[in-house]
Chain A
Amino acid sequence: MQQQLRIDENTALVDDMNAREILESYEEITVGEQLLDDVLFFNLFEKTFLLFSPDKSDPSSMAAVYLYNDELLDFPHIMLREERIAEGKEMPSGTYRYVCLFEQESIVNTLVPYEDKIIDCIDRLIELLSMNSSEQTREFQKEFMFYWNSESKSNRKYVAYIEHETQFTEMDAFYGENKVRLIERCISLSDIDDRNKAERKWVHHIENEVFYIPITDSRGILPPHKGFSWSADCVKNIVFGKRIEHIDDDTYSQIKTIIPKTQDLILVFGMKTEQSNVTFALKVRCNNHKGHTLLNKLLSDITAVEPLSTERKDYLFLCEQIGNDIGLMHKRVLLIGAGSLGSYVAFEMVKNGIQRLKIYDNDKLVEENILRWAFGGFGIGLNKAATLQFLLNMLHPEIKVEACAEKITEKSLTNEISNTDIIIFTIGSSDEQLKLNAALKRAHCSIPVIFVWLEEGGEYSHILVANYQKPGCFECLYTNDQGAYVNNRARKNTEIASEKGVIRNGCGGTRAAYGTAILLRTTAALLDVIRNIQGEKITKNTLIDISSDRIDISDTVFPMEACNCCGNSVQ
């Protein structure tokens, strides 16, 4: 291969080589007709390819290869559909199939010399065509959904919502205008009853039972591709593999027991490999043999299988796609305060894997505050918690945000503890925080509580993690070593700076002036804190200082042994 030549004879050798010279340096390649300076045919492994060299005037361009006049070659990354060029055009007539050799944005093309781009492209092509069967399977599986959805003849998309992806389960089918939702029965979607005028947007259909079957061993399971269509045998091989068991014992035992009620079925298969997580559905048409178990039906009654264009859209899957901590999904979070900070925190929490949120705030959004409220001008004059609930529930139908348009009291807070996994305070009033902190202490609250607050001026903010079973609480910050009340000892602002950050708007009402940067960085720090609590990296009560140039464990003395709230009980 070309790279060997480069190693042996110095990299300068390839400088200023043209495409023909580079191709000719490969012993496996025979160069054919040249159409333009750097566009030429070549033969490799008894196949003909057309090379489009990168555009020399565009450093970001890359080389491309097409398979010429071969509609049968069955290989991953060689596109299924061909471009057909008729006689009389600039290109030789025939069929061209694009060979997809590069992952999007995997290379900074501008940094790569022209010659190296061609060499890399050809090396990849040789590597692709030299793959053994297990490597080909891996590559096919990486692109499974592309092949699967290309094979679908249905004009509807099937959207799967799955929560227990490793368990066999029955699903419900809800038909919409262009989509069909296949929903695991334990999942409830908040918009499933929505209507378009009088008509339901999603109608529950029962003519085909739907079953989700997780595949535990993906060896040899290929998507349909050139010359290979899915048939009943593919389904049989999964549920009753002869050489390799593709499903687990629990799934097998269930499909051996369940007796489907409908003649035809929809099967949803889930398959995780090292490099892909695919979910694909198919309609299975069957003979009507009543009394057959699902296994018997799949083994002996199938008359046709029909791939259905499938995508997975459940909250779990979307979280996995962006690397969220899945462990947070079932945590119930109580957020107290839906002001500027609370709005950012709420929005980011549901995007980071917290699906169940309850928000308390009795305040209404006023126009002066819209620039530092996460959702801008929507909801002016409305209750902040209810507005957040409306907006966040729209993000995904599995998100369950509850709003309480009232000020939380000590009693209601105490009552919430048993229904909550984490409590987060994003309120500005120290009096409120101190009062509620004491209530939590009295209630022997055993779940993590996080106080988040901003200082005036937009420079400093703080996060306090409190576990009331351990030393340290919010009141410690307002207590000196003699047990006397003092102002928040974590404050970093001087009095002068604080005074500068205050806007007075009559009748003694004040607002602290700060931009949104402090909101963003405090929210980001809070997300890390939540992850660290979940990952048990934060195990003791901790005070964190946040400023524009650092996030650090605070040097403020904490906890305070003389604290009137928690100190006497701390040993």
Chain B
Amino acid sequence: MLKLKKEFADFYKEIKIDKETNALKEKREILEEDIKSKLPTILKNHNISIARSDIRMIDQGSYKYGTTISDDVVDRDVAVMIPLDISISSDPRKIKGYLRDSINIPARTVLIKEPCVRASYYDNGEEWLHIDLPLYSQSGTSVHLARGKEFSSDYSWESADPDGLNDYLCGQINGNDQLRRIICFIKKWRNVKYEGATSDHEVPPSIGLTLLACDCFSAQSTDEGDNDLLALQKTMKGMLDRFTYTVDENGDLVKTISRDLPVTPYTDVFKKMKDSSIAHMTTFYNRLSKAVENLTNAVNVESAHDAGEYVQKVLGSTFSVPAKEAVAATAQNRREHSFG
């Protein structure tokens, strides 16, 4: 019997989100309708002419790739692409402001963030959903992402290829169920280990983990089915091995990892994390290293119970540890360990 096969299957069932809930879908559709109905008018007031039918919504992120996991706050990514001449509309902050204005109603809280406009939804004072809307301009075959916060001096139209990124990741993940599960497990590990994080930049981004997982994925199966424990251990070990030594400004050796986007603009997805503080990289390395150590122990120990305890250290308490193997006469005698 494959070690922890059932526990991994149960864990995946517990954390996976197969599709949008109707509650989310309804919010998203209303939001998209608001953008399509109001944005052209707002833009027109600023001498930018687009038709409703020119606005294109692009499904992005984990919902697109089927790697969403349950979390306290639902995180949805939908790109908004509009035809725009950025040589004329050179300030992306203004265009993001128009997008914000098109959706800014009391039912949602809207914020301009560096890479997107975020619409957040609250229930009894607690945020339960945010929909991130990266804004892209399109002119011919040239696509650019609007970057920069509303009042930041650091802003740009960054060359981008959202469709290409979707194609790349869907090509990697679709039809590979074990990879999809492994990505979910790694994201769950990240959520558990960074539960107390106070800023986004200290947390390894989902896109980074997803790309690394795709790069380092090691499919593992036997006649008894997929061995997710071994696949997870090998994939995370592969990710760990991607870290390299670099020298910081003090001349100290630090571990860092880079992963460029596979499409335009081919930038490093961990750049913000590194720029924020090199210590974040060290933490990332140490936590990943500890996870690999625990998973390696889980692979090597004979007892499923002990292996489960190691895995629980990685994936959190949602992962069930199987009961200790029968050693007493009682345990041998009982048909199954279940409560009355």
Contact = CB atoms under 8 A, between A and B. Distances in A.
Interface of A: 1, 3, 6-7, 11, 76-77, 100-104, 106-108, 111-113, 116-117, 119-120, 123-124, 127-128, 132-135, 139, 142, 219, 240-245, 252
Contact of A3 (B328, B337, B338): B328
Contact of A219 (B14, B74, B319, B323): B14
B68 to A, nearest CB: 10
Interface in B146-161: none
B328 A116 contact: yes
Interface string B1-43: 0000000001001100111111110000000000000000000
B340 A104 contact: yes
B329 A112 contact: yes
Contact of B327 (A3, A104, A112): A3
Contact of A119 (B319, B328, B338): B328
A245 B128 contact: no
A11 B330 CA distance: 12
A101 B330 CA distance: 14
Contacts of B70: 219, 243-244
A241 B327 contact: no
Contacts of A113: 329
B23 A100 contact: no
A544 to B, nearest CB: 34
30 contacts: A3-B327, A3-B331, A6-B327, A7-B327, A11-B329, A77-B340, A101-B339, A103-B340, A106-B338, A106-B340, A107-B330, A107-B333, A108-B333, A111-B329, A116-B328, A123-B324, A127-B323, A127-B337, A132-B317, A134-B320, A139-B339, A142-B339, A219-B13, A219-B14, A242-B21, A243-B71, A244-B17, A244-B70, A245-B19, A245-B20
Contacts of A142: 338-339
Nearest to A131: B320
Given A112-B329, A112-B333, A132-B320, A241 B339 contact: no
B77 to A, nearest CB: 16
Contacts, number: 100
Given A116-B328, A128-B339, A139-B339, 13 more contacts: A3-B327, A6-B327, A100-B339, A106-B334, A112-B330, A119-B330, A127-B337, A134-B318, A142-B338, A241-B22, A242-B128, A244-B21, A245-B18
Contact count band on B: 35 or more
Shortest 7 CB-CB distances between A and B: which pairs? Answer: A120-B330, A116-B330, A100-B340, A132-B317, A245-B21, A102-B340, A77-B339
Contacts of B336: 106
B129 interface: yes
A496 B110 CA distance: 98
Contact of A124 (B14, B20, B24, B339): B339
Interface in B303-340: 317-320, 323-324, 327-331, 333-340
A103 to B, nearest CB: 5
B324 A120 contact: no
Interface of B: 10, 13-14, 17-24, 70-71, 74, 123, 128-129, 317-320, 323-324, 327-331, 333-340
B320 A135 contact: yes
Q: Which of B21, B22, B74 has most A Cβ within 10 Å?
A: B22
Quick one: which of A6, A104, A117, A124 has the most chain B CB within 10 A? A124
Contacts of A77: 339-340
A123 B327 CA distance: 12
Contact of B331 (A108, A111, A120, A132): A120
Nearest to B6: A274
Given A106-B338, A119-B328, A242 B323 contact: no
A149 B335 CA distance: 28
Nearest to A125: B339
A135 B74 CA distance: 23
A101 B329 CA distance: 17
B338 A243 contact: no
A508 to B, nearest CB: 59
